[in-house]
Structure 1
């Protein structure tokens, strides 16, 4: 069976050699460098104890320094599984999620055509380079000199010039005996719509050759010299050689540089890549005038596990970065992500290097943000979250994005990171609650204290009453203990917990720890509490008598009971503190002209407080009086009587007669 053009190249791009080989060997952790795709192990093809078998994951080749076995992923599967070439291809395609193509009877014919087209493209590269040295290219040469490119750079990048003539390249290629269909098939000319001779695709443009990972010239990018030209940059049309969404500028040399440890930097255009390489950043690539595609993203990850996206600091560049996030989220794997280095406003990498030097760009690369930071920035920048509804909208939007991540471990880490960022945003600004909360840094002991109740609450009679504060303290303890024993309910009560003004510092810290770490499970939550407050704090909280007897503490993990408890206690706290605030406001109002509105507000607040308290105190049980005058619940007494009857009837006959 013959395979269609490009199938094996894409298969080798998608199939990670280290993953394929990793099923058969144990990697030597001391010699291997997974981040660089440089892996070592004892050879699977001959018996040895030393790690002489080397896998270069970026280049996709293995070599054993002992038995000299070498090859790629296909040959490795063939040798280790004892299968044919096509069977090995089918195995790898299945693992990579690529459907095997139907039999193509013209595959060899197409392969020969690609070879011929590649030869035509090389002729075009040479012709364009010669044209750059002519008098017609003076303006182009001046432009390139102004961009900092000397003769050596022009030679290195094979930059040429397409003169502003209709059939310049066409006539040159025809003079070498190249067939019409090959010139047209390479995308170098277009057929005339008026029945005349075909005309050149590129005219009056500086020409940048585009080569594939094997170094073959497959296309051109042309920059217009005429400022009035509608298309500043023009790429070759798609051909049997060139698929724009599966190609990257400078991919071959970037792969080599990345293999030597240089960071893979993704820029936006040809001149950006050239400037980066000239500045010492050899592993630089660029998509070809479009947003990065899924295939290009897979190519980038094949070269390096964490490419740095350097996008222009203008609005278009930022929009491109944000679109890339949505593309990348479902494709994330452990150790495989993106980082983003945003350029200064109005500058691209070329501008920055020329104005401030390579060191300035290096600082931006060193400070590149992980993708989760950019996701957060996209959803929060320029927005105000001063209401529960807006906060809920943010939570919903972020949850929907995190759901796109297929890997459960990465999804969990993203969720926790988002929680931390949410915490920093809302708690640092107070987010409309009565206090900003205690200042706490993960992994450190608690330092600082909550801001405390509002001024109105401080001045109220209820707030200053020792009994009122003691009652609030007891309710807070129950709420906190319930959340610690069953942290899975915390998500439903985040807004209530955030706005809960705690009566002391320790309760404030506990509340903050619960909000930060509940999603990670009870064990992680308890570890963070003990780390911040010491082991005794949790034990003391759960050991308090009024806490220990609550059903949610006696039956930890019961979400239904816990949710009922937290709902009731939060409602009571809110009602009491609402009444305290109304009393404080009323005291201020009474200092002026009193009216019936004050009385009505106080009565409504008192009624709400009374309802909240009675909701948990209403007892619908029926009671009987015992012989000693104590009240006994009728259903409990009936159950006791039934038990005593069972005991009586269950006595052995002889024993019963003796007792009588």
Structure 2
């Protein structure tokens, strides 16, 4: 089968090589820089312990410095899946949502036609640029240089042009060049006349902005009307075989190159002139959507270029509505390290106006203060709402859960639930009455012990309130708020500080942990920045310099920490490895148990007790496996009505939770 070159280019542009390779390797967290698409891992093609396999996600190529394997996404799938060339393409095309070209002997003819359409569009670019220099374009030149402040060099750099008011100027120019009429029509440059006359130009009396694909090829135009009475101030080329405005961005190619430089943000503006003004002011990573709301395909293009683009919008009401539409589009698609920030400009100005009136520094300040998606989302969900009754607060919670449910990635969904729970607690606490202290984790959010033991909905605000009989023996009522978890974290951190050689082996587990103990997250972050080849003394010195001398001393004060085998024998690597493996497994099992309890409680009103018992029994098995000590001791278990074995601590936690939220306690045997 003959594939058009344009198809392979489109396939590669839609794929992330890091995602394709990531299914087969484990990335080295210390060497990889996801924001730059610079990823390292042990090579999947030969046995090695060090990360010599390099992926350049932006260029779409990989190379192993050990075995010298190299290629792109297609080659990688061929080698790892043992597939032929066409089989690999079909597999990747299916993942990218790109239909395979029909098995037609005329495929090459189709490719040639696309190339000819691009050539026709390039000829139109040259025509419009020449027209901008004529006397008929005097008002257009004055607008660009006077109103918009563009220099002659900038106008040339952006290849701006002018479409004369003549109805047939471009048509006659192109046909005189010998270009076939059907190609002019197919390129979206003219329309057939319904009066039996020759086709007429689509763009007339407009400043012309060439639109190019990521490879720099002219595929369409945007036109700005010079007549205030024109029904459309801005107009794009119609959809054609080479132009799809929902799958392209203005200035994407140069912006990709610019954002490859450290510290250059990817800024998304609403209009061509905004993007041009940003680039001319020094913000080289500026793009613009093409007259429509940002589409999912455009978001994927943005994330392929930068992990956290900044959406720059006018600060007026229309700009805020546009920001909310972007959030609704982006939430189902966000992933770890892949999000958006929003820059709502002051005074209702757009980027071009802000730069011309207040200078590039004002634009930089606005970008530096861009807000996260969740901050803007929370503002939308709370704006104008009066939450002065339990019914209104319940309706508010329902709306929040509906928003979070739309997030596809479970990890992101968990963190959004945590953050909304914190914001909700602050809102209700400020308003009085319902403090909102109950953790807002309706599905699979990982528990961090936030708000345990409190009476949700009561007027008590003192954490030291006397627990009820049902909660006295439960960890939920513990004053140390998960002391066992804190101590396990401390053992892990101290062990890795004393034996840095294990940082490479356990670094990924450290990255994925959600720390409860005060200062533990900061210490883990400091450890991940350390070199595994450094001595323990060197690492301790670095930690003391960055976090203060009291951090490690505070950890070692815990008796459980100082008596841990890995801490008492700091030179025994094998013992430390066993200790780390055990403590990490216990933390994971405890986290899973809490999650099962919270999910069971969230769905208790409509869930049979037998199903809850079954869920808890599954989690109890995991805890049983990691809770055995060297003497063969096990956790104590109850027997539920359906015969399921449930850890008594879990049953106590569940009873307390059900009591606290007023659902009652399931009957026990």
Fold match by TM threshold 0.5: yes
1:442-478 C-alpha deviation (Å, 9 max, x unpaired): xxxxxxxxxxxxxxxxxxxxxxxxxxxxxxxxxxxxx
Change (3 A) 1:389 1:227: same
Show the 5 A alignment for 1:360-375: 360-375=362-377
Q: Distance in 1 between matches of 2:173 and 2:145?
A: 27
SS at match of 2:347: coil
Change (3 A) 1:567 1:347: closer
Change (3 A) 1:4 1:423: farther
Q: Distance in 1 between matches of 2:252 and 2:417?
A: 34
SS at match of 1:166: coil
Show the 5 A alignment for 1:255-294: 255-261=256-262, 262-294=264-296
More off after superposition, 100-109 vs 134-143: 100-109
Q: Distance in 1 between matches of 2:30 and 2:353?
A: 42
1:165-211 C-alpha deviation (Å, 9 max, x unpaired): 11111111111111100111111111111000111110000000000
Change (3 A) 1:417 1:487: closer
Q: Distance in 1 between matches of 2:181 and 2:16?
A: 41
Q: Distance in 2 between matches of 1:13 and 1:383?
A: 44
Q: Distance in 2 between matches of 1:208 and 1:323?
A: 26
Q: Distance in 2 between matches of 1:127 and 1:32?
A: 47
The alignment of Structure 1 onto Structure 2 pairs a total of residues equal to 492
Show the 5 A alignment for 1:201-220: 201-220=202-221
Change (3 A) 1:3 1:559: farther
Q: Is the 8 A contact 2:424 2:436 kept in 1?
A: no
Return the offset for 1:53: 4.9
Q: Is the 8 A contact 1:132 1:140 kept in 2?
A: yes
- Identify the residue that residue 501 of structure 1 maps to in structure 2: 460
Q: Distance in 2 between matches of 1:531 and 1:47?
A: 40
Is residue 2:160 matched to residue 1:159?
yes
Return the offset for 1:340: 1.0
Change (3 A) 1:50 1:559: closer
Change (3 A) 1:374 1:353: same
- Identify the residue that residue 239 of structure 2 maps to in structure 1: 238
Change (3 A) 1:238 1:256: same
1:457-504 C-alpha deviation (Å, 9 max, x unpaired): xxxxxxxxxxxxxxxxxxxxxxxxxxxxx999989x99x6344235x5
Return the offset for 1:95: 3.9
Q: Distance in 2 between matches of 1:312 and 1:62?
A: 40
Return the offset for 1:557: 3.4
Return the offset for 1:140: 0.4
Q: Is the 8 A contact 2:6 2:111 kept in 1?
A: no
Return the offset for 1:80: 4.3
Return the offset for 1:52: 6.0
SS at match of 1:221: strand
Q: Distance in 1 between matches of 2:114 and 2:483?
A: 58
Q: Distance in 2 between matches of 1:65 and 1:270?
A: 43
Q: Which has the larger radius of gyration?
A: 1
**1:404 paired residue among 403, 406, 424:** 406
- Identify the residue that residue 639 of structure 1 maps to in structure 2: none
Return the offset for 1:568: 7.4
Change (3 A) 1:253 1:319: same
Return the offset for 1:5: 8.5
**1:329 paired residue among 312, 331, 336:** 331
Q: Distance in 2 between matches of 1:31 and 1:564?
A: 46
Q: Distance in 1 between matches of 2:38 and 2:450?
A: 45
Q: Distance in 2 between matches of 1:401 and 1:5?
A: 42
- Identify the residue that residue 83 of structure 2 maps to in structure 1: 83
Is residue 2:651 matched to residue 1:557?
yes
Q: Is the 8 A contact 1:38 1:56 kept in 2?
A: yes
Is residue 2:354 matched to residue 1:352?
yes
> What TM-score, normalized by structure 2, do the two folds share?
0.66
Change (3 A) 1:189 1:425: same
1:371-395 C-alpha deviation (Å, 9 max, x unpaired): 1111111111122211112211111
Change (3 A) 1:180 1:95: closer
Return the offset for 1:65: 6.6
Q: Distance in 2 between matches of 1:318 and 1:183?
A: 39
Higher helix fraction (1 or 2): 1
Change (3 A) 1:525 1:375: farther
Change (3 A) 1:564 1:125: closer
Q: Distance in 2 between matches of 1:237 and 1:5?
A: 24
Q: Which runs of 5+ in 2 are unaligned?
A: 438-446, 469-475, 487-514, 520-553, 556-637, 639-646, 665-669
Q: Distance in 2 between matches of 1:401 and 1:437?
A: 18
Q: Is the 8 A contact 1:58 1:304 kept in 2?
A: no
SS at match of 1:242: coil
1:60-92 C-alpha deviation (Å, 9 max, x unpaired): 233567877654211332344443221111232
Return the offset for 1:531: 5.8
Q: Distance in 2 between matches of 1:508 and 1:350?
A: 61
SS at match of 1:227: coil
Q: Distance in 1 between matches of 2:518 and 2:64?
A: 49
Q: Distance in 2 between matches of 1:91 and 1:73?
A: 11
1:132-185 C-alpha deviation (Å, 9 max, x unpaired): 111011100010012111111011100000111111111111111111001111
Change (3 A) 1:65 1:280: farther
Q: Distance in 2 between matches of 1:342 and 1:149?
A: 24
Return the offset for 1:423: 1.3
SS at match of 1:222: strand
Change (3 A) 1:115 1:429: same
Q: Which runs of 5+ in 1 are unaligned?
A: 439-485, 511-516, 536-550, 571-660
Return the offset for 1:2: 4.5
